[in-house]
Structure 1
């Protein structure tokens, strides 16, 4: 278990999660912002991406559960040297990134995403030693951006043509949670 708070918990992705992940990652409502509707996953792709570790890979994948029901995916990773340099972070700062989605539409618009992000930030700053946590949502994903801002993230840099989504390059925001910023306590 990575962390647990009230009815929310996050645990490591396991083999038994493959069918559920394939279901979420082939749902057009989820893919509208995550990966793209032209990139549905099948179980083989899920297994390869979320369970097969490549040498030197530093991404950890977790299943978010609400009252012990799997509802979404979260990934966390320490930024590599190239990303640190690209985003302007000095090499002596511990910067972690995260991405997440709620795959079960019945759990949308209930504040669970906000709780997930807040809990993940607390986990990364407390357990992993992150000084800064970053995300890069597409500019058009206003619902996610509002959630992240509620959790103390700030837009710090526009990333033009950062992510190809459904064949179109999308602008993204680099959003940052700085543990040392005044008033930034999740």
Structure 2
């Protein structure tokens, strides 16, 4: 089972194998992966620091083209966009992408890194969430469902939501740390 703290800026993942909780080192410099997604016209995806590097390379490579964003796209703050109920989709290389698909692709890349690091294919995720995603109950429910749909697109078949503070407490207790 993975515990995922998918934040607007950064993402971290824990793995619970046989009761041992491990903070997975998925980022280029540790556990933290910047919550960024890069997509290019050839169908390649990258996340985190790699997405930043590929975005910079693409800007340089295509700088003399009159229109460069038909070659690549760079996304940040996708979690924040989930809160905008009016944001349903965007065009990427002439194809309609739902916001759930964008978030799902980011999470699919996270899942692939986590599966590789933990040497197992995991389909269960507990996603950390704030107490309230929206002040309006119906929006809160809708946002959680959008997030659940994104997780399913990523390959998680069993998705649960938990409060972030609880995950930190559980992690500290399991590691017998003082907080």
TM-score (norm 1): 0.32
Q: Which has the higher contact order (CA 8 A, sep 6+)?
A: 2
- What is the TM-score of this pair, normalised by structure 2? 0.33
Q: Which structure's CA Rg is the greater one?
A: 2
